[in-house]
Structure 1
Amino acid sequence: MQTKIYTHAEAFEQLASEWDDLLERSVNAPFFMRHAYQSTWWKYLGNDDLALIAVRTDDGTLVGLAPLYRKTNSAGLVELTFVGCVDVSDYLDLLVDAEHVDSVYQAILDVLEGGEIAWDGLYLCSLPQKSITHTRFAEAARARGWVVEMSRQDVCPVITLPDSWEAYLAGINKKQRHEIRRKMRRIHNEADTRWVVIESEADMPAAIDEFIALHQKSTQDKEDFWSDSLVAFFKDVAQKLAAAGWLKLYFIEVNGVRAAAMLGFDYNNEFLLYNSGYDPDQFASLSPGNVLTSYTIQHAIELGRSRYDFLRGDEVYKFRFGAEAEPVFDLRIHRPQAGGGSINVEGC
């Protein structure tokens, strides 16, 4: 195996033609590992300390990517962590060709052990339940005598979708089924209501501005969430994902006013609900957010999608819609100090 460490942003352009091809061959390939997302995140939210490890076979075929960067944590120690970690990327992972798993893992560990990258701890955040990084990669690190710690970071509530809306309703709690029907009926009876979905590149810039405005109005925390760099990232990545056909932005209009919004990714036969917003000062009594959630579930079923993933967070409303929790893991690895001690490396 051949390895190369990329330390400059040009790496994303240099690897662009191969990145998503590897992703399609990978043993686990979260949406947030796509080149469009990773490269845009680095452009707006990264620092100047990239440490991206690429692994190739002897004939030059790209079979592994560890998109990492270095940052100093609150303890003053240098961590290597994923590009995209942690707040706005719900699932991250190493990209590893399914036919070369063990050799790629060993190659990455060889690089980390070789001294070309200075680091105190490795923090692989937001690993999905089906990832093998927190099992096989962890075992490979442990076999070298390294200290490995795994913890549950969060959960992603997920609905396994049936083939019809009525079948979905029949499968959830009777009280919730009644509430969904009651709220959908009420909003239509008491107001002129319609829901719309924005998917085109041309309509996306104005729609994203409306979404951000509704998200900021939702709570004080959400208003404080939007830094200038995050707004720039979000607008840019939305355009790229819309161009690829993966972005859907839903609104519910009440008496001509857009009262709530939901942004999701339509990808690989799954619907991923990324974020939402609403205006609590208008139409709150009509529960526009809950009704819009129902519409997006119904639409995902109509499109034939197999899963509706609420992504990270254990908010009660997600489970009322029939979701079941899937864990998201963090993996921390560090090497023992000389003399048998160890370094306590906290997450970012």
Structure 2
Amino acid sequence: MHIDIIETMPQLSRLEENWNAVYDADDEAQVYLSWQWLSGWLSCIPGPWFILAAKERDAADLPYAGFLPLRLQTTIEKADVFGDIRMAGNFAADYTGLVCRTEAENRVIPAFARTIKQMSWTRLHLDNIRMSERRWRLLTACFPKAGFHATNVDKVNFEKIDNSLCPYAPLPDDWNSFLDQLSANTRQKIRRLLKQVEASSEYRITVATPETFERDLKTLLGFWDTKWRARKADRIDGLIRTNSAMLTRSFQSGLVYLPTFWHGERPVAALATLMEPRKRTFSFYMTGRDETFVGPPAGMLLHAYSIRHAIERGFVEYDFLRGNEPYKYSFGCKERKIYSIVLETRSGRNLGGRIDPRCIPDLLEQATELHRKGKAGDAEAGYRRILEVRPKHADALHRLGQLLAAKPDLAGAKRAFRALTTVRPDAAKAWQCLGQVCERLDQHEEALRHYIEFVRLQTDSPDAFVAVAQCMVKLGRMAEINAALLAAIEPANGASVRKWRDWRSVPDRQATRGQAISA
């Protein structure tokens, strides 16, 4: 199989027709692998992502037979850099996985695994994978114990809910048939609840429209925040931003069904579901309610309302997604099991000993923040790992030079700044930094040459002129100061140059100018 790597939105946009054809042909495909959902999610996540796309051979006119969406993360730990490959849907998708034509899976899935093994990473997070055991074995068989350590991820939370179990309700052709398969008690309760709301002037249910979506989403996330902030305090704000971005993009793509339950003008509960028309599934995503409300049970009511809506529009499954909460099974659910493991290199270091170049922007940002916080060892590791794969990376060279100069490792700083001047010969700051390091090394002749370049590139900087003059004073070349400065600025025509020439034209200042500058 031939594997291409898709890593930009324009590339992904061009794949829509091919992706949908593979998705429609794949019995294991689900909403989080649909082109509509995934393209919306990838367009708003930070950090690098990529998609492995498989075809039988390298031919421009040949369609792809499978896609595996992934994302990259890099962390700096203990003065080293580690790469993580995660499923692209993390941290918004309840399910992850791949899409593939069934007849090609025996070739496509091992080819995906072999490609991943050629990349630079320490940990591969196969998290919340929804696929058949057959496909799971094809994927994981390529990571033998001799080279990789596999750790199962425990999905049982503090409430003893197993999030590896995923209940779902098959939907019949009509609402009454669905109710008939439930227990008598549940059936009667649902009918009573819906009748109580629909026959009442006190209660109502609205469904989000383009005009009301922002309001309704804010209501939902507000309820969710109130319930979970105490338990998820360190992560809650990030989760709310992620959920807001994902649901907004999904609504814009026509994928969100969001009913809100009202008591008069007071919203008391809301429920967001992802609709997938190609596979005809509803996937319950999140809910929230006003915990102070005393009245009809809002959760059961909104689920029943959503299921009835789905059946009326020909959908065939209502998926409660991750978690085996008991209430879900009252809706006549079956269950699936999803897989979650972390594969780690036996060495505990990146395969190939290097970072993935796609991680450079993220790694530079991390290293710079660590540098700012005074964590020089970790920051230096980040800069050096970038330079291993991009020796001419200007920002990494500059920041590494600054860090080494502060240690002080002046010889190392000089090497970094010298390399920077070859990469960015037009950057005045690079010449200034190189001159300063040489000066600290008492290499004043060399420092002078670099300062003169600094002056040539930044003729309006007083610091440049002062640096040249002070360096010449240290060399004892007082009489040459004026000539050196004028030679440095001769090609320029800026206001500062004209001012300099005017100053030079005053005879009685000529004799004392060097001293004035050095002062």
* TM-score (norm. length: structure 2): 0.55
Matched, 1:56 2:55: yes
Amino acid corresponding to residue 139 of structure 1 in structure 2: A
Task: Name the SS of the counterpart of 1:266 in structure 2.
Answer: strand
Amino acid corresponding to residue 65 of structure 1 in structure 2: F
Greater share of strand: 1
User: 1:50·1:69 contact (CA, 8 Å) conserved in 2?
Assistant: yes
Aligned CA distance change for structure 1 residues 61 and 131 (closer, same or farther; 3 Å): farther
Matched, 1:207 2:213: yes
C-alpha offsets along residues 303-347 of structure 1, whole Å, 9 cap, x if unaligned? 333221111223332123332332222143344449xxxxxxxxx
Alpha-carbon distance in structure 1 between the residues aligned to 2:101 and 2:198 = 50
User: 2:6·2:12 contact (CA, 8 Å) conserved in 1?
Assistant: no
Sequence identity percentage = 21
Greater share of helix: 2
Matched, 1:172 2:182: yes
User: 1:78·1:119 contact (CA, 8 Å) conserved in 2?
Assistant: yes
Structure showing greater relative contact order (alpha-carbon pairs closer than 8 Å, 6 or more residues apart): 1
C-alpha offsets along residues 232-262 of structure 1, whole Å, 9 cap, x if unaligned? 343223101x1xxx43222334335443222
TM-superposed deviation, 1:31: 0.9
Out of 272, 276, 287, the position equivalent to 1:276 is 287
TM-superposed deviation, 1:118: 0.6
Written as runs of structure 1 = structure 2, the 5 A alignment for 1:1-348 is 1-26=1-26, 28-47=28-47, 49-58=48-57, 59=59, 60-72=62-74, 77-86=82-91, 88-114=92-118, 117-128=119-130, 130=132, 132-142=134-144, 146-149=148-151, 153=155, 154=163, 155-187=165-197, 191-198=201-208, 203-204=209-210, 206-222=212-228, 224=236, 227-228=240-241, 230-240=243-253, 242=254, 246-267=255-276, 268-281=279-292, 283-337=293-347
Structure 1 unpaired stretches of 5+: 339-348
1:343 matched to which residue of 2?
A: none
Segment drifting more, 89-98 vs 165-174:
165-174
User: 2:84·2:123 contact (CA, 8 Å) conserved in 1?
Assistant: yes
TM-superposed deviation, 1:145: 6.0
C-alpha offsets along residues 15-42 of structure 1, whole Å, 9 cap, x if unaligned? 3443323322335212111223222222
Alpha-carbon distance in structure 2 between the residues aligned to 1:169 and 1:238 = 29
1:345 matched to which residue of 2?
A: none
Task: Name the SS of the counterpart of 1:204 in structure 2.
Answer: coil
TM-superposed deviation, 1:181: 3.6
TM-superposed deviation, 1:85: 1.0
Aligned length: 325
Alpha-carbon distance in structure 2 between the residues aligned to 1:206 and 1:180 = 27
C-alpha offsets along residues 203-260 of structure 1, whole Å, 9 cap, x if unaligned? 32522431332331245255635544543343223101x1xxx432223343354432
Task: Name the SS of the counterpart of 1:22 in structure 2.
Answer: helix
User: 1:266·1:272 contact (CA, 8 Å) conserved in 2?
Assistant: yes
Alpha-carbon distance in structure 2 between the residues aligned to 1:323 and 1:56 = 37
Aligned CA distance change for structure 1 residues 110 and 168 (closer, same or farther; 3 Å): closer
Task: Name the SS of the counterpart of 2:43 in structure 1.
Answer: helix
User: 1:138·1:148 contact (CA, 8 Å) conserved in 2?
Assistant: no
Alpha-carbon distance in structure 2 between the residues aligned to 1:125 and 1:219 = 25
Segment drifting more, 292-301 vs 246-255:
246-255
Alpha-carbon distance in structure 2 between the residues aligned to 1:40 and 1:149 = 31
* Larger-gyration structure (1/2): 2
Structure 2 unpaired stretches of 5+: 156-162, 230-235, 349-519
Aligned CA distance change for structure 1 residues 317 and 215 (closer, same or farther; 3 Å): farther
Aligned CA distance change for structure 1 residues 233 and 158 (closer, same or farther; 3 Å): closer
Amino acid corresponding to residue 235 of structure 1 in structure 2: T
Alpha-carbon distance in structure 2 between the residues aligned to 1:139 and 1:162 = 38
TM-superposed deviation, 1:100: 1.6
TM-superposed deviation, 1:93: 0.8
C-alpha RMSD over aligned residues:
3.1
User: 1:269·1:305 contact (CA, 8 Å) conserved in 2?
Assistant: yes
TM-superposed deviation, 1:275: 2.0
Task: Name the SS of the counterpart of 2:258 in structure 1.
Answer: strand
Alpha-carbon distance in structure 2 between the residues aligned to 1:233 and 1:272 = 14
